[in-house]
Structure 1
Amino acid sequence: MKLDCKEYKMPDGIIMKLHQDIIIYMLLRLPVKFLLRFKCISKYCYTLTKSSTFINIHLNRATTSEDEYILFKRSFKEDVERYKGIFSFLSSNNGDDLSCIFPDLDVPNMTSLYSITQDKLIGPCHGLVAVMNVSSTILLNPATRKYRLLPSSPFGVPKGFYRNIENGGFGFDSVVNDYKVFRISEVYTEDRFGYPEEGERKVEVYELGIDVWRELDHVDQQLPKLFWMTSSMPYNGTYHWLITLSYEHKLILLCFDMSTEIFRYIKMPNTRYFSSGTRHSLVLLNDCLSFICHPFLGPEIDPTKDFIDIWMMKDYNVYESWINIYTIRVLPIHEFPLAIWKDSLLFFQGKTGYLMSYDLNTDEVKELNFNGCKRSMRAIVYKESLAPIPEGSESSTQVHNF
């Protein structure tokens, strides 16, 4: 960025000159909501805060876990078959006491109001978060309060064929400098008894920068079977799924490189087995890809013998760097953990529908005054970003304000 000076007239008439790098340094210390107001001061301020250079500097500024916010999505029942989705934007200045930084918001443009278990929050990527179900994807920036409903895939199936959407994801391709959304499906036919026959795996990719969906032509037909709510997350330019190969009873990390658009695998450590059933959930801890090995709750759980393990991969894609960083008591986790916040608070939804927290440092469990329908809570930890949501073409979907 070009270094120059700007003149500002002070109340006593003295002209103060500030180098642009000093201005930028001061601006980087401000919350995004103040930066959005700052751009209204002058044309120079508007141009500076809208420039890709400043946005990238802000994105890569030094931060700590204290700069983290959390986005919750939860649902409430409105009538017998209808649910209302709510976004809550929370912060904390005192331990695990949660406070709203914005008023709660109705989840916009979700096409299905009759299911609360099939939507997921994905991200963040440069501060952007995707809200996805099998039929629609919303991209939002929680800090700038912008969102866009992305266009649906245009690809259909021939007559007599059916499509099963297995999974989908969102990430950033650093090579072409663009965000991508993708979905994995199987196109199949049925036999004369109505049972599905083995089909063909398909992967469709949407590039936001060029506003185009396309089909990949090199899909590995031997990919493991995925399910919509398989634990998954983007990390290090790659999308990851934590799956167990049923024929080997082996835990693996399936990866989809957002740049090369090729699938690969990462070897996983051996984990404990629970007689009630074993679950594995991906989380981010200390900026490292990690996972939690936890049981299905049931009468088979023995608190004297059964424990939850948290594993961390300290060096990405290096098998020897996997370490069992925490072993903790079994928690009343209903379904799956939601997120780890500030590298110490594990959030999960309890059986009563209330949000619960477990402190990894003090071993303290709390039930918080925050609830929703059972199995409806989702959470994403994010840091504020000025990253814009790419605009669509004139004939495509557009970016809106909350």
Structure 2
Amino acid sequence: MRFAFAPKTSLPILEFRMVNSCNGLLCLSGESRDDPSYVCNPILDEFITIPPNYKGRCRAPLDGFGFSVETNQYKVLQPFIRWSTRSVAQSTTLRLRYTVYTIGTGVWRSIGNAPSDLFKFPFSALFHEALHWVSLAVESAECIHSFSFETEQFRSLPLPSNYGRVKREFHDLLKLGVLGGCLVLCVFGASRELDMWVMKDYGVQESWNKILVIEDLYMKDVSCHYTEPVMILIDGQILMAFNGRDVVFDNQEIKSLGKSQITPTGSAFDATSYSACFVPLSKVFKEEEVKRNIFHPEFCLPPLILHKKAWKIMVYNLNFSSGLKM
């Protein structure tokens, strides 16, 4: 079963991208520099607006959304680009600076001691109340960066010591995600192979364990190849987004990929596992103005995967298991 949020909504903008999901709430961000961000409940058809904080700065479209259990507050992490020129060599260096918005306060705050290399927040890499990503910079140390929405501190986590070095020309060669309550890393090799690693003991390098190898990864007539883990199905198969255009699952018996019954959108999308929230936004964000979309979904079953095409959001109801077989 599925239902879709049609383009005819009261959102001020029609083109947006997904940031990530947290506790059944979805964060969306506009594509343009001066566009605001939105936190919505796709089940109850509600949203609030997060004002932009650029003030002429060059925006880095890499927002993050998370929750602090200790303070019971939701926060948005937003970096911006700053160019610095050295007086001697007159060389220009790109640096990232970070701001945090605590929903309900109306204030953006700058935070320090942050990694300055360019990165991409991978969709669904929110784990242990922290956002996780791998650096895009070829010259940077090979590690996983994280930002805690609880402490508002950055830290680094180790990659597997023997995951097999891959050329770092493209960030899609390393993909992070969360499966079955564990941080997961997908490594794409040059020989049509995908290795999937799981960190069993969070933060401990020795706890990385290779759980899956897919040898015949690439489909025919596809020039770019990357796969992101989405969720564990009830039969133990892993549902994945392939190339941002197909939803596939791994066949562990033949170590290959098979197409799912989810209809391809025909254009790029983001996908993530999703647990519904039935608490009205007015109770979650008492200080914020809550608005509703025009479209009201007919079904209110808990969706377990969320799927995006351009400005349309599609929600599928699937069976899955939260356990990960290792």
Q: Deviations over 1:281-324 (max 9, x none)?
A: 112211211111124xxxxx54xxx4210010112222221111
Tell me which amino acid in the other structure corresponds to 1:348: A
In structure 2, what is the Cα distance between the partners aligned to 1:383 and 1:323? 27
Match status 1:314 vs 2:200: yes
Instruction: Give how far 1:139 is off.
Output: 1.4
Match status 1:209 vs 2:104: yes
The aligned counterpart of 1:345 is: 238
In structure 1, what is the Cα distance between the partners aligned to 2:229 and 2:108? 31
SS in structure 2 of the partner of residue 323 of structure 1: strand
Number of residue pairs matched? 274
Distance 1:354 1:175, change over 3 A: closer
Q: Deviations over 1:330-351 (max 9, x none)?
A: 423745434432352332245x
Matches within 5 A, 1:128-277: 128-133=25-30, 135-153=35-53, 155-157=54-56, 162-165=57-60, 167-188=62-83, 197-198=92-93, 201-216=96-111, 218-220=112-114, 223-228=115-120, 233-243=125-135, 246-247=138-139, 250-269=141-160, 270-273=162-165
- Check the 8 A contact 1:253/1:267 in 2, yes or no: yes
In structure 2, what is the Cα distance between the partners aligned to 1:145 and 1:274? 43
- Check the 8 A contact 1:203/1:219 in 2, yes or no: no
In structure 1, what is the Cα distance between the partners aligned to 2:41 and 2:227? 23
Distance 1:328 1:209, change over 3 A: same
- Residue among 265, 272, 277 paired with 1:385: 277
In structure 2, what is the Cα distance between the partners aligned to 1:182 and 1:335? 29
Q: Deviations over 1:68-87 (max 9, x none)?
A: xxxxxxxxxxxxxxxxxxxx
SS in structure 2 of the partner of residue 359 of structure 1: strand
Runs of 5+ unmatched residues, structure 2: 296-326
Distance 1:314 1:360, change over 3 A: farther
SS in structure 1 of the partner of residue 93 of structure 2: coil
In structure 2, what is the Cα distance between the partners aligned to 1:130 and 1:200? 25
SS in structure 1 of the partner of residue 206 of structure 2: helix
- Check the 8 A contact 1:243/1:252 in 2, yes or no: yes
Distance 1:149 1:336, change over 3 A: farther
Distance 1:325 1:107, change over 3 A: farther
Q: Deviations over 1:92-120 (max 9, x none)?
A: xxxxxxx31x244338537474xxxx833
In structure 1, what is the Cα distance between the partners aligned to 2:242 and 2:81? 32
SS in structure 1 of the partner of residue 150 of structure 2: coil
In structure 2, what is the Cα distance between the partners aligned to 1:387 and 1:315? 32
By percentage of residues, which structure has more helix?
1
State the structure with bigger RCO (CA 8 A, min sep 6), 1 or 2. Answer: 2
Instruction: Give how far 1:185 is off.
Output: 1.5
- Check the 8 A contact 1:313/1:322 in 2, yes or no: yes
Instruction: Give how far 1:167 is off.
Output: 2.3
SS in structure 2 of the partner of residue 320 of structure 1: helix
In structure 2, what is the Cα distance between the partners aligned to 1:320 and 1:274? 20
In structure 2, what is the Cα distance between the partners aligned to 1:224 and 1:286? 31
The aligned counterpart of 2:316 is: none
In structure 2, what is the Cα distance between the partners aligned to 1:359 and 1:199? 39
- Residue among 20, 25, 32 paired with 1:122: 20
The aligned counterpart of 1:288 is: 182
- Residue among 209, 220, 241 paired with 1:323: 209
Match status 1:398 vs 2:296: no
Distance 1:263 1:329, change over 3 A: same
TM-score normalized by the length of structure 1: 0.59
In structure 2, what is the Cα distance between the partners aligned to 1:224 and 1:200? 5
Distance 1:369 1:379, change over 3 A: closer
Q: Considering only aligned residues, what root-mean-square deviation do their CA atoms show, in Å?
A: 3.3
- Check the 8 A contact 1:245/1:251 in 2, yes or no: no
Instruction: Give how far 1:226 is off.
Output: 2.0
Instruction: Give how far 1:244 is off.
Output: 5.5
- Check the 8 A contact 1:165/1:228 in 2, yes or no: no
The aligned counterpart of 2:318 is: none
Q: Which has the larger radius of gyration?
A: 1
In structure 1, what is the Cα distance between the partners aligned to 2:83 and 2:166? 35
In structure 2, what is the Cα distance between the partners aligned to 1:110 and 1:290? 36
TM-score normalized by the length of structure 2: 0.71
Q: Deviations over 1:134-183 (max 9, x none)?
A: 54322122333322232222x525xxxx5242622010011211100011
- Check the 8 A contact 1:244/1:252 in 2, yes or no: no
SS in structure 2 of the partner of residue 347 of structure 1: strand
